[in-house]
Homo-oligomer: A and B are copies of this chain.
Amino acid sequence: MSRRVTGPEIDRLIQLLARLPGLGPRSARRAALQLVKKKDQLLRPLAEAMTVAADNVTTCRTCGNVDTHDPCTVCTDPRRDESVIVVVEDVSDLWALERSNAINARYHVLGGTLSPLDGIGPDDLNIAGLVERVAAGGVKEVILAVNATVDGQTTAHYVTDRLQGLGVAVSRLAHGVPVGGELDYLDEGTLAAAIRSRTPF
């Protein structure tokens, strides 16, 4: 703000809020104002929830999920199929797959994709940890649930190579028309993949 209308404490709150994904400077101001107006219902509980999270959140050394204990909730859940590991790029992908309720298995978070242009090589991702888990035995299938981008697919190929000889089946997500998708709006690559992988009706 050009001239000062509030104390520096509120300016600092706005600056930090603006660093959250999805909030720009304008919405950070709105959020800050909402917070200070609802001091006891929102600002204080949120401050406490953040302190609790900061004090407790850690990365699971087994799968890379974020949780308040290590090994994480997913790795310690006895009702999950231990013989299947779903490999994802990011924790957000793990959460997305869990919301879909599509599979009841373990996960492995790589922490990104191979990207030579950005200087990200195999040692920057948690690939060694995956190989170790598979080599330890008990894993029958590894599902590569990486993004359908060039970097994602490069990473998928590299991971497949590294798992060669460990006696594990490697699969990847199907390509095709998104549920609810309209053909007219889809790119040629997706349509071609959907035709190639067509199924009996």
Contact = CB atoms under 8 A, between A and B. Distances in A.
Interface stretch (A27-35, A146-154, A177-185, A191-199): A27-35
Contact of A22 (B5, B23, B46, B56): B23
A116 interface: no
Interface residues of A, number: 60
B22 A30 contact: yes
Interface in A31-51: 31-37, 39, 42-47, 49-51
Interface of A: 1-7, 9-10, 12-13, 16-17, 19-23, 27, 29-37, 39, 42-47, 49-54, 56-57, 65-69, 72-74, 77, 91-92, 94-95, 98-99, 101, 104
